[in-house]
Amino acid sequence: MIQNQTIILIHGAGSISDAWDNFKKSFESMGNTVINPTLRYHQRGYKSDPKLGNTSILDYVEDIEKIIKKLQQKPIIIGYSMGGLIALILCSKGYGKLGIFLTPAAPSGINAISFSVIRIFIMNIFRWKFWCKPMPPNFSSAFYGVLHDFKKDDALRIFKNYYSPESGRAICEIGFPFFYSNSPTKVDEKDILCPTLIIGSGRDRITPIQISKKLKKKLGKKTELIIFEKFSHYIMEGNEFKEVFAKITDWISKKIGDSAV
């Protein structure tokens, strides 16, 4: 069992920290300190702060850095989707004892665009200046791209509980990193010194499994990849959560030992 660790949980795009409830409660029940911040300007529902639209991935990274610098021990950093990319960047800056990237968004150099991704974001990417405006949550896009393995009523419940507007700039930085002379999502694998784990889902439509496979190739021996072929993107509850959490805790135990402090 994992004990006496500090664990940071970073949520994904268009979401809030409450999406981590199952992970947070399970880690805390083992005797760990869990920090799961809601990213800058995110809030449940459709209303958005205008400043969200022009918020960069690096702004999110900076906010988490400030939290980490106040800690008494190096944390285990776990990120989901866009949060997985943020966790990857933080690990490249030397902040993590361990890094775990769940169905991660792609860093610069790995193509993030596919037919399914275009279908999910098409209503937003054709809005004028989408790259500097808040992106409102959209249930039909979420149901197709993230929640397609759930019955519609269950998918709507999840959507209403956890979804938030997202930064158009952050989405643009992930999807179109070549627009930037110095891409905010660029990660140099040589800078990652801690052990890392990638969790990929075979039926993922928003961060397709090819991203996890290419990230594994990029990081090489610095990481391990576990693929759940029958899972889609949303792995935060149900059997998906139980199986993913079991794999994560087993991997952490092997890396730090059951009695590590």
Residue 201: helix, strand or coil by DSSP? strand
Contact predicate 212/158, CB 8 Å: no
Q: Quote the mean pLDDT of the chain.
A: 94
Q: Tell me, what's the pLDDT at 23?
A: 98
Return the pLDDT at 237. Answer: 95
Q: Say if residues 6 and 32 touch (Cβ distance below 8 Å).
A: yes
pLDDT tens, 31-40?
999 999 999 9
Residue 261 clears pLDDT 50, i.e. is over it: no
Q: Is 181 exposed, middle or buried (0-12, 13-18, 19+ CB in 10 A)?
A: exposed
Q: What share of the chain in percent tops pLDDT 70?
A: 98
Q: Tell me, which fold does domain 6-256 have in CATH?
A: Rossmann fold (3.40.50)
